[in-house]
Amino acid sequence: MNLTVVALNGTQLVLNEVGIQNLPSYESYGGYKNILGNIRGLGNYTGVPLTTLCSLVGGITANNSVRITAIDNYTTTFSYDQVNGSFTTYDNITGQEVPHTKPLTPILAYYFNHTDLPESDGPLRVAIVGPEGLATFSGYWVKQVVKLEIHYLDQVNITAISLSKTAVGQNYRCRVNVTIANQGFYNDTFTVTAYANQASIGTQALTLTAGNSTTIVFIWNTTGFAFGNYSIDARVGGDPLFRGGNVRVSVPGDVNGDAKVDIYDAIILAGAYGSTPRSTKWNPNADINDDQTVDIYDAIILAGNYLKTS
């Protein structure tokens, strides 16, 4: 059985069993606790540390994780800390959780008690071993491993937020453009939520293929939002907020966002009059009603609010 190791940039290294056994090996004691609470697989395992395999394709950093795939397409993901030995451990007799005081080492094992792995497990399996002989969760002990992939810890990330306006009239709309990139090596399905001062203005679900990016548009209807400045942000799933720009919600007709409608706004609107998004003189703030044209209807709104303040 061959093993494919995939670098962060997508470069692949294929190793056969002989090539794996020629790498520096590590031997120690380990076992696992299954979902019934029983301890299984106790014994000595010999194999190549995951850190060694990762180093063959450029290594792994704290911003990365390793996705492990078995021959039946079962997958699990190890964080950077887990690749370096951070796991919950259990007493190999009682099954009770106990801390480990000596480092653990996740390895891609090819021997069990100095002989080939059992046919159902091998020829390659992930085992978490260490000098204290403690067990770890069975879900980490992947059988018949065929692939290790290094990818970004959060492979789907927001890369940019752009806003159609910097000032928007209360009860009118502003468009929020969020660009997302899938920087990993497999397709992903997720949600993106946009916020105005941490109040949700919409959520969209989408699937993004590996290595690609896309831009989605949120239409922020400012009805019900008080006058003031708003930070427009977004997040993927439960990730931290990605900070965007600021928009002022003001009196409709306050084109320059200075909290009042006056001659300066009228001058700006006049300069953009008759324009559309493709025009060189286009000013989205002057498109007060957000119909993609600066025209008489926008001028009427401005005139109706002349000298009003927010």
Judge if 170 and 207 occupy the same domain.
Answer: yes
94 CB-side CA count, 13 A: 5
Sequence-distant (≥ 6) Cβ neighbours of residue 284 within 8 angstroms: 164, 165, 277
Structural domains in the chain (count): 3
Single-letter code of the amino acid located at 186: Y
Judge if 265 and 191 occupy the same domain.
Answer: no
Residue 180 maps to which CATH number?
2.60.40.10
Q: Residue 155 and residue 40: Cα distance in Å, rounded?
A: 34
The strand pairing partners of 55, in sequence order, are none
Residues 38 and 140: beta-carbon distance below 8 Å: no
Judge if 132 and 245 occupy the same domain.
Answer: no
Q: Residue 34 and residue 30: Cα distance in Å, rounded?
A: 13
Residue 93 maps to which CATH number?
3.90.420.10
Host domain of residue 265: 258-310
Judge if 185 and 59 occupy the same domain.
Answer: no
Residue 275 maps to which CATH number?
1.10.1330.10
Q: Model-level pTM?
A: 0.58
The reply to whether omega before 123 is within 30° of 0 (cis) is yes
Where does a domain end: 123, 152, 181?
152
Judge if 32 and 124 occupy the same domain.
Answer: yes
Closest CA to 80 of 8, 173, 143: 8
**Coil, strand or helix at 282:** coil
Single-letter code of the amino acid located at 114: H
- Summarised one tens digit per residue, pLDDT across range 185-228 is 667 888 999 999 989 999 999 999 988 999 999 999 999 999 99
- Summarised one tens digit per residue, pLDDT across range 252-288 is 999 999 999 999 999 999 999 999 999 999 999 999 9
With cut-offs at 50, 70 and 90, classify the pLDDT of residue 172: very high
